[in-house]
Structure 1
């Protein structure tokens, strides 16, 4: 913003100049610059516009707390929106564009919005948009919403790998405290991962300097890094640890310029949070003007990049930290006036004019700072540096479940020890002096010897807060344009809870998530309501700690890789005989055989009823449940009791959610007293296993029951139809004599085989399961016999038709998110079982007992099949839907359409005529029983 780069300071590579432009203005920087440092040295002061009033905004901070310098960045022809200038490295050829401005930040025509600020106070949106209907306002609001603009042609490559890793100690932050913790842990022989968002470890040492244990600070950093590596640890720089989650999981985004970024999922035995603190602003009139900047940020840019904040500077504070900034800027050639609100202060640095016991009242300037008023004294300046104290970065501590305590000495909320599985050290714990931070880090890292020591004295702080009643417009959240007056209005209108304050005023909802605004907002509310900070409370901290691209979180999980389709072991064999594949429940399965789907479905279903049909049922779940408590676990997790099932038999049942809704249906096979196989539906195998596993661990003794999903280890071939038994015998397979719903373990060609008489078609059916490596041989044997008997392979489309003829349901198609088992005609267990099972209590709520619940029935009609999803209309009263068609087909066996539907009180209405509505057209249908074919079940015993 000064247009001035110091000729010698900074670690940028001056031999490698980089060209870029900002809002069309050609500028240059150096390798090693961030966008912020390049802009600071390059000259532009107005870098963006605020969200609500479109006021001009300039650079404020140096990290994730930056609320103003948010840019759309174009590189290699692709634009990424809303990048924070303080965290992005400069690259040659970058085109930077300010956001929320047209045509650019300096000439934003929407700046006229600021003139109307009196008519747009806090709560304006809520009050205004209630009038005339939301739909009238929505188009205008959507056009004005957002900051940057998406580039529809920019599709980030799916190259970000997600990596799981573990370590003994995870240290978050590589500043003084984090380095001390890492060194202490590594010295004890523990593997340490040290994570920091900067490009180099050191934290504030990099711009504040100092000696540690009598040696320059770079020696301390180098020794610590060497200790970490020698103990088998790892150091991740330019890496943001953005979230703390349950069960000790931490997520980190590693940015890499020359290779794809990486996303880390980390778990550690111990975690040390040393994330530092964020400098607070000061609150005076017009404190949002470009040229008002964090004091610590100015020191950061000066020493790391040579970027000078201004030439004529007023530095306002009430603590010792900014004295180093004032001294460095004065030595660099700046004119510095230090305004300290305290009367007892350190000695003024050389070349610095010190005003004791004074405060800045107002910043002057139309578009940027030109002067300030200090106790009524008018002082010309081009930059105002401010330091209102420090706010510890406690976000990850709170995300991990930790609580906070208020420390009056530092006027800060600090982590409460023992409330989270994280140990906090350094500035994040309220220790703002170097020696204290090193000592806390050493203890947090488990150090047994003496802690590192520094010669730099600790700072003294005199807390500063917003003062209600301050004249002029005092800005609390500069990006979202929340003022001190807005907080006062919220208090007057009853929005005194910090969560209500946040939502009423949008305080803390900006892209910096209120890092520099939240404390000021709650402090102002505390003052306005006569409460203390602890009584006022804090908002909830949630991941992510800083914005993370969705492409990083998603990584390679997109397209087919997002949910990779599962494949049949015998996919090649099915394709060889003409199978056309489609995804069903996450599996690629044959939809039909031959090119014409409609014709193939009808032909396959007809021949399966007349002769026999074969299909690959390998995706059906095979979850083995073993152990003394196996039967009890299945009774608890299932709606139908399985403990009374005899070995060698199978039983159909449901699994419910805790709300009593049908989650899955399937068959349970009992192979022995302590050995069951749960045959879950193909799409629910994973969720069923997780429900069983949760109950196993939380309700039962895990040593008495075990689960093993062996779905992928078996190939299952099913033969169904009147000629099924003869076809299997013709294949040379010796079937055991089983009744319907019987199961037996036998052998075939010397290999294990499990045979079950279970039907999904309504005809006599045999499921034959062999280890996957023998599946191809079984397929070939059955296919040869099929051709001899004139049977057909059937795809899922024909199978769906056959099961619908019998009224067999498909969960998720014939049920929805409110379907309970008694809606499907399975009320027996609810009425008879007295023991506890998953979802039981929800089956007896008033909602569950309603007599007009939607129930499964059939629909009969003439002509063409009813559209799936069509609504059944009420017979009288206002037009409304009383149900819908769930499955609909033309039955080649019955020679007419069939359908299943969920209709209010449907079973009591069997025989009634109803009107079915779809896309403006109506047809008549008659409610019937769900089973349209062989209602007596005689064909099951063929």
Structure 2
């Protein structure tokens, strides 16, 4: 293709830099500075897609982010293929491969167009009315067909080779939009010296000033004013300019999220650059200067390729020197479209204006057009168009007193339509600001803000150039804490319009297919039908008809749809309301949202300091929270069960070594540390002596168990708190929340030390014998160092916090050393333990050993609805403390019911049967379906020490059921079990003191 529709001069494109693209395989010429849309227009391409439902031919409608029709698949090379790209925002770069979507076998000949013939049956709500019968046909008949037809483009299947990054930024003033109001706001705010960020979605900043060839601002052309303003801003160190950056979400506390397209405009980007950068900006003040969107007119067949928005024709002609056509008809109900007509005339095009307004209702724009030789037909309506894959004519007729006169067809190859303007209030609405309807402007405008922001320019209904500039300056100055205003000298703009929902027609209005939502093929009669069928809420109408649910999110369709709803209901527009403006403002790539959190970083794995040793010694691993932990150490020929049995025997009979470094660890320090611990835990802490440990259950406000762990008092003002591996972040957050919001008077400091300390658990009857030779400044004797104590000293000269604790029921030590020294200490223990048969063990063995002793694991033996008493640990809860987290909830009647689920042990009648964890428990197998479930199995293992299977379970009224028999679901039926105490081995706990007297098997 060649640039047959390119003006020989003008525009902001660089004619010296030629770009080659392909469109459906055909070569396409472009110039640097083009968008894909302007390149297509310059090459005479009008047909660019097919509509979603009817597969009607569609062309480019707009020039910006509100484009509903020109959605293309864009390929930038291997693995870089994206569907549903708006041709109006994609910049033309060398080598782009563009292809159209939603058609078969080709764009020109689309079998799906048969739907257009069947349009009378595809009315609003067709899906809901049709696919309800027969009742059983959905999954077999309808769903496969609908899923195959759904969507426009095809999602890529190859991995995305590009990189995306996130960046956080803070500023005093964030200005969104760099049109006239935004530039003025940034200039004013930056004079204060405060930090200013100016973001705009276009490749060039300047907004409407970039295609304004006639206006002057303070005596200089609009384009020169833009250049001067940007040069001034760029020279100021307190200003950050972000072109190609869309503010798509406005959240609480002036948190605005933006996406910056970094490399899409580069044919050969540097390898170190990300494709997109997501900015999370926290601003003290936000100036919203997002402009407004032109409304299309609703008339019969208003969707033919070549029918565009009037301002967009002006943009393509002036900014890109691309001609949408040579015989142009501008159809309007307002004044601004006359400027498009004048600019087209100045470019040498044949132009006619069709204005619905009466001659006397027009302003100076009418005289200007006629003085320039433009034919103007006032008091004329548009009743249709001609052509199929491109518009060839516009059918117009005079209107007088509501009567439509004789039709005539104006031959044309382009139509510019303008039904007025709709302020872009999306970000303001996202900030939870309330909108106010202005009948004079027929639009919702920003009302009272909820956050620290203000709106300026066209997004609050100001359409005159000088007014926009002055308003932006005032908003920027106010946001920066300055006072004063500034007047800008600029010619008066053509403003004002007559709102029209559907153009008057001489036929039956209900038969006119006037499109409201171009992408979803929603017509004016669809909206009317939805209301007539009982859908009075605008949100319901939106979903019933799908209007406003396209990729443009109703930017071009919402106000026309609202107007039709209000007319049909006989209510004013404010009574109808508007749809909810949710983020994102425009589509955002998944890559930008995910950022660097993909692949290995999507679910990052943390490894303990001893991970490499475990790998070298044959460990199999499991993921626990974000950690990769040694699951078991299999010897050649062993499966997991054999390895675990061997490891369990080693701990019970000799000594085992276990990496417990992943335990959460929090340092609680300060004069009020003991008082803080006393409030955050249900048991007592004030009298715990330094050097002693205590087991603590942490509760939520609802009284349910939240986490648990051993806590050591290192000094009067210092506690070493351990948590579960997965619970460390939430426990620290829980503590910080109460410290900052409930007890800010307490002098306490919280520090996560999980990575500071590596923890080596040495467990078994021989543990003291292995440890003693390596420690010379801690007395390890039972009398000097009893169970549940902590000592500080050195091991191999390395500082250590040595805990005498056990999660296995055996004599145990947990050796805390700085992580950098973990490997050396571990290997020394390993060497000393060889004479005693030392054995490394993993998490599965740890689970078996603790279950034999009835020790719980929070999150496995609890389910978020368990209290301390449910676990048989009610004695831990202080009866004398005035308050602690969860205290009031523990005395609620439901917490004291006898039928609450309580932790018990289960023994199967067949000792070899190992129950399934999560299996349901019933009292009687002869009851009718559905059976009443009274509990579930929480932990289940084979125990070598007990010579049989064991299980823990939560059972309704469990403690009162001891000695009774229940039934547990199994894949083949039910297993009969006896309810017993949850401690299966060494019920008296003598082994923890290193006295391994054989205990009776469970």
Q: How does 1:184-333 map to 2 (within 5 A)?
A: 184-209=188-213, 210-232=215-237, 233-255=239-261, 256=263, 257=266, 258=269, 259-261=273-275, 262-333=277-348
Aligned to 1:335: 350
Give the CA RMSD over aligned residues. 3.0
- The equivalent residue for 1:494 is 534
1:757 equivalent to 2:804? Answer: yes
Give CA-to-partner distance per residue, 1:249-307, whole Å, 9 cap, x none.
22222112324222222223322211111111112222223222111111111122222
Contact between 2:457 and 2:469, CA under 8 Å: does it hold in 1? yes
**C-alpha contact (below 8 Å) 2:74/2:98 kept by paired residues:** yes
| Residue of structure 2 equivalent to 1:31 | 32
CA apart distance, 1:487: 2.3
1:147 Cα shift? 1.2
1: CA distance, partners of 2:517 / 2:548: 7
Per the alignment, residue 657 of structure 2 pairs with 614
Q: Distance in 1 between matches of 2:733 and 2:670?
A: 18
- Residue 379 of structure 1 corresponds to which residue in structure 2? 409
Whether 1:424 and 2:455 are equivalent positions in the alignment is yes
User: 1:533 aligns to what?
Assistant: 573
* 2:431 match: 400
**Corresponding residue number in structure 2 for 1:806:** 853
Change (3 A) 1:783 1:823: same
CA distance in 1, matches of 2:616, 2:889: 49
The answer for unaligned runs of 5 or more in structure 2 is 399-404, 995-1002
Q: Does 1:548 align with 2:600?
A: no
| Cα separation, partners in 2 of 1:494 and 1:622, compared to 1, 3 Å | same
Aligned to 2:988: 936
**Residue-by-residue CA offset, 1:308-350 (whole Å, 9 max, x unaligned):** 1222222122332211210111222322211223332321421
Distance 1:587 1:150 in 2: 33
CA distance in 2 between counterparts of 1:389 and 1:688 reads 56
**1:454 maps to 2:477:** no
Distance in 2, Cα, partners of 1:829 & 1:518? 61
Partner residue of 1:787? 834
In the alignment, what sits opposite 2:376?
354
2:762 equivalent to 1:684 = no
C-alpha offsets along residues 353-373 of structure 1, whole Å, 9 cap, x if unaligned? 112233323334445433222
Tell me which residue corresponds to 1:878.
Answer: 929
- Residue of structure 2 in register with 1:601 after alignment: 644
1:691, distance to aligned residue in structure 2 (A) = 1.9
One of 721, 746, 751 as aligned partner of 2:764: 721
Asked if 1 retains the 8 angstrom alpha-carbon contact of 2:916 and 2:970, the reply is yes
- The residue aligned with 2:61 is 60
Residues 696, 604 of structure 1: alpha-carbon distance in 2 compared, 3 angstrom cutoff = same
Match of 2:126 among 117, 124, 127: 124
Which of 887, 895, 902 aligns to 2:939? It is 887
8 A contact 1:190–1:231 mirrored in 2:
no
Q: Is the 8 Å Cα contact of residues 434 and 454 (structure 1) preserved in structure 2? A: no
CA distance in 2, matches of 1:851, 1:138: 49
Equivalent residue number for residue 866 of structure 1? 915
TM-score calculated relative to the size of structure 1: 0.93
Give the deviation of 1:413 after TM superposition. Answer: 1.6
Please identify, of 174-183 and 635-644, the stretch whose mean Cα deviation from structure 2 is larger. 635-644
Distance 1:514 1:26 in 2: 33
Give the direction of change, closer, same or farther, for the CA distance of 1:657–1:142 in structure 2 (3 Å limit). Answer: farther
Q: Displacement, 1:428? A: 1.6
Aligned to 1:482: 522
Q: Is the 8 A contact 1:619 1:682 kept in 2?
A: yes
1:33–1:223 CA distance, 2 compared to 1 (3 A): closer
The verdict on how the C-alpha distance between 1:390 and 1:867 changes in structure 2, with shifts beyond 3 A counting, is same
Equivalent pairs counted in the alignment come to 941
Larger CA deviation: 363-372 vs 639-648: 639-648
Q: 1:409 aligns with which of 440, 448, 463?
A: 440
In the alignment, the residues of structure 1 paired with residue 216 and residue 453 of structure 2 have an alpha-carbon distance, to the nearest angstrom, of 28
Taking the aligned partners of 2:787 and 2:730, their CA distance within structure 1 comes to 28
SS of alignment partner, residue 712 of structure 1: coil
Matched, 1:666 2:717: no
Task: Please report how far the alpha carbon of residue 685 of structure 1 lies from its aligned counterpart in structure 2 after TM superposition.
Answer: 0.9
Q: 1:604 to 1:25 in 2, by over 3 A?
A: same
- Aligned partners of 1:664 and 1:680 also within 8 Å: yes
Structure 1: stretches of 5+ with no match in the other structure: none
Distance (Å, rounded) in 1 between the aligned partners of 2:409 and 2:742: 72
Q: Is the 8 A contact 1:731 1:784 kept in 2?
A: no
Q: For residues 220-260 of structure 1, what are the alpha-carbon distances to aligned partners after superposition, in whole Å with 9 as ceiling and x for unaligned?
A: 33333333333322211112222222333222221123242
1:783 CA drift (Å) = 2.4
Stretch of structure 1 that moved more, 83-92 or 123-132: 123-132
User: Is residue 98 of structure 1 aligned with residue 100 of structure 2?
Assistant: yes
What is the DSSP-based 3-state SS (H/G/I as helix, E as strand, rest coil) of the residue aligned with 1:445? helix
Shift of 1:859: 3.2
Whole-Å separation in 2 of the counterparts to 1:833 and 1:64: 65
Task: Summarize the Cα distance change of 1:663–1:45 in structure 2 as closer, same or farther, 3 Å threshold.
Answer: farther
**How has the CA–CA distance of structure 1 residues 344 and 666 changed in structure 2, closer, same or farther, with 3 Å as cutoff?**
same
The superposition leaves residues 358-397 of structure 1 with CA deviations (integer Å, 9 ceiling, x where unpaired) of 3323334445433222334322233321111211222222
Alpha-carbon distance, 1:441 to partner: 1.4
For 2:76, the equivalent position in structure 1 comes to 75
Q: Does 1:796 align with 2:843?
A: yes
